[in-house]
Chain A
Amino acid sequence: MSDLELSNRAVRGRALPRPPRAGTVAALAFVAFLAVATVAPWLLQTADPLAIAPREAFEPPSAAHWFGTDESGRDVYSRVIEGTATSLLIGVSATAIGLALGLLLGGLAGLGGRVLDFVVGRVNEVLFAFPGILLALLIIVLWGPGPVTATIAVGLSTAPGYARIIRGELVTVRSSGYVEAARVLGHGRARVLARHILPNALAPMVVLATLGIGQAVVWASALSYLGLGAQPPAPEWGAMLSAGRTYITTAWWLTVFPGLMIVLTTITTTVLGRALAARDGARR
């Protein structure tokens, strides 16, 4: 799920293949779709996502129900649209938490001098030994399952990766020619930091955040799927998948379509993140 190495490369502007223009356009179109689904879901819905119609239960996809109906006859397509807001909110907040903490840790390590660098480095190494979802599971043991805990858990478990990248950026920028030039010209420490180091080191944050949202959506829905995040009958994508799992042998559409939204969201953020990284790389 996490692709630290890849995002690191993207941040450094190192030749990750630039997505084709058509891909970027398609990704932007999907973002627009997600935005509408978040802000004004009723514009896209074909039915009431909570309306129960037991007689129409388990209908396969058709013209009336594009993604079929679930065990209570609810329209899966409308529920998927309804779930966009929750799923994205969890993904975006988790990324924000992870980035904020990563900035704090990475900033301390990259600017706080040797001792702090060493301490943060060791802490980070320990956190890296809890791969993937393990750290999130531990956090959920602490605070109990639920959507809020899941969000925090995902945010915290992505923080070490961000911290490492941010520290690397700060160290690179700090020892670069233009920063040295600014110092030699007699600019004060604060000025050099505010005008030269921070803007250049933090520019890749946009890329990181874009790539991170897709990843966070996947992690959060994985937790929901395991029954540790948002709970059914909430129309959150992971929870919908989890609920549909019971009927996988008879009604594949209950799991396939919410999952497809997750996959499309991840692909979209990856394509956009890389396009941004390629633009950044070209500008440097």
Chain B
Amino acid sequence: MLWAVATLTFFAVHLVPGDPAQAILGGPGSQASQEALDQVRADYGLDRPLAVQYLAMLGRLASGDLGDSYALKTPVADLIAGQLLGTLTLALLALVVAWVLAIGLALWSTSAGRIGRAIAAGIELTAAALPHFWLATVLIAVFSTSLGWLPPVANDQPSGLVLPVLTLAVPLAGFLAQLMREQMLDALEQPFTTSALARGETAAGIRLRHALRHAALPAVNLSGWAIGYLISGAVVVETIFARPGLGRTLLRATELRDVPVVIGVVLVVALVYVAMTVLTDLVSRAIDPRIALEERA
């Protein structure tokens, strides 16, 4: 899987018209001399055939070496290691906030009447339709510019995290809540709900102890996808809030055509994605014992 991602990225980047040696020496505007270009090509092994370069890259990747950034001349692994934590914090916090919002909305809307449900459906639909870049600017306009409660730029303070996390969490919560509400209404019509009611369970108890478990399952399965979605959203959010992280690194590397950095970031994101898929699999087994039973049968 990771090998395929690395291969695809490698060839994609090498198909690009343009000279990586130029990019290393500071782009077309720098007017590097021919000797300097040749020197750089030799240093980075760019004069060798593509196949050799490809094998060299795989060899280095296998030993955990992501190479050096063309633009910054520092090891890509260090660069990513420095940025990864910030982005993961952002993405995971957003995931948690999205879950809390979605559970709250689902619990409330399934116990509300017809009008309450219609309102909840409207909120979910709108939330899910909000593009990150627009939500971020609106949040900045309201909470930073007009009210002055929160900083418009992400700083080291926890308060600097609030707006970026909200920007990422709200649309995701819209998606999750739609799924959960639908599943929850489904669960509330099942026979086990009636039998629990007969045992003297309260309506709220059923929601919390029985229906929520059913409602959570598809949403958990979606969380693997959600992490990828959040990291991709981080490209936009980190740029707007000037918050250092993988997303911004990737965007800058894309603009500078910094090949090793692009490959490195994409690989790390793919790795996170694979890890999350495994994790969500484990969590859904814990929630629904039937999955493990079916596999054994």
Contact = CB atoms under 8 A, between A and B. Distances in A.
Interface in B199-241: 218, 221-222, 225, 227-229, 231-233, 235-236, 239-240
Interface in B1-30: 1, 4-5, 8-9, 12-13, 15-16
A126 B8 contact: yes
Interface in A197-245: 214, 218, 221-222, 225-226, 228, 238, 241, 245
Interface residues of B, number: 57
B236 A129 contact: no
Nearest to A133: B232
A241 B228 contact: no
Given A142-B12, A249-B145, A6 B269 contact: no
Contacts of B61: none
B137 A245 contact: yes
B134 A141 contact: no
A34 to B, nearest CB: 15
A140 B256 CA distance: 12
B36 interface: no
A186 interface: no
A225 B133 contact: yes
A263 B130 contact: yes
B269 A134 contact: yes
Given A248-B141, A263-B126, A132 B9 contact: no
B214 to A, nearest CB: 13
A252 B141 contact: yes
* Main secondary structure on B side of the interface with A: helix
Nearest to B181: A17
B126 A267 contact: yes
Contacts of B126: 263, 267
B149 to A, nearest CB: 15
Nearest to B228: A131
Contacts of B134: 241, 255, 259, 262-263
A141 B254 contact: yes
A132 B233 contact: yes
Interface in A233-284: 238, 241, 245, 248-249, 252, 255-256, 259, 262-263, 266-267, 270-271
Given A20-B118, A141-B13, A1 B141 contact: no
Contacts of A125: 1
B131 A259 contact: yes
Contacts of A270: 125, 128-129
Most buried by B among A17, A122, A262: A17
B129 A267 contact: yes
A68 B22 CA distance: 45
Contacts of A256: 137-138, 141
A17 B141 contact: no
Given A3-B128, A142-B12, A259-B138, A132 B228 contact: yes
B4 A122 contact: yes
Interface in A127-145: 128-134, 137-138, 140-142
Contacts of A128: 273
B225 A4 contact: yes
A272 to B, nearest CB: 12
B67 to A, nearest CB: 17
Interface in A113-132: 122, 125-126, 128-132
A131 B269 contact: yes
A6 B179 contact: yes
A222 B137 contact: no
A15 interface: yes
Contact of B141 (A16, A140, A255): A255
Contacts of B133: 221-222, 225-226, 238, 241, 259
A152 to B, nearest CB: 14
B281 to A, nearest CB: 15
A226 B225 contact: no
10 contacts: A125-B1, A131-B269, A133-B232, A134-B235, A137-B235, A137-B250, A141-B262, A226-B251, A252-B141, A267-B125
Given A131-B229, A132-B228, 20 more contacts: A4-B225, A6-B178, A16-B182, A17-B121, A126-B4, A126-B8, A131-B231, A131-B232, A132-B231, A134-B250, A134-B269, A137-B251, A138-B9, A141-B16, A218-B129, A226-B251, A241-B137, A245-B137, A256-B138, A259-B138
Q: Which 4 pairs from chain A and chain B are nearest by CB?
A: A131-B228, A132-B232, A259-B134, A266-B129
Interface of A: 1-6, 15-17, 19-20, 122, 125-126, 128-134, 137-138, 140-142, 214, 218, 221-222, 225-226, 228, 238, 241, 245, 248-249, 252, 255-256, 259, 262-263, 266-267, 270-271
